[in-house]
Amino acid sequence: MRAVVYVRPRGGVLDPQGQAVVSALKHLDFPEVLDARQGKIIELVLEDGDATKAKERVTQMCEQLLANTVIEDYQVKIEA
């Protein structure tokens, strides 16, 4: 079983990496880009088992380590 965790800065939180991407793209002649948010993707390989239980466990991992829940949002997807 595989879990994919998407972590992104919360809306309203300053994202200097995203702003650097916007600036660089504008300098490369892509003026249509108005904003960018840069996050991370974490892929986990899990033991096979119950998908609901796996999502609960990965959510615990996010709350304790994988995401800074003060400034980041996360989404968990379980793939069989």
Domain parsing of the chain, residue ranges: 2-79
In terms of CATH, what superfamily is 2-79?
A: Phosphoribosylformylglycinamidine synthase subunit PurS (3.30.1280.10)
**What is the mean pLDDT of the segment spanning 41-50?**
97
* For the chain, percent of residues with pLDDT exceeding 90: 99
Distance from C-alpha of 36 to C-alpha of 69, rounded to nearest angstrom: 20
The pTM score is: 0.87
User: Where does the pLDDT of residue 80 fall: very low under 50, low under 70, confident under 90, or very high at 90 and above?
Assistant: confident
| Helix ranges, 1-80 (H) | 16-27, 51-61
Q: Would you mind telling me the total number of residues written for the chain in this entry?
A: 80
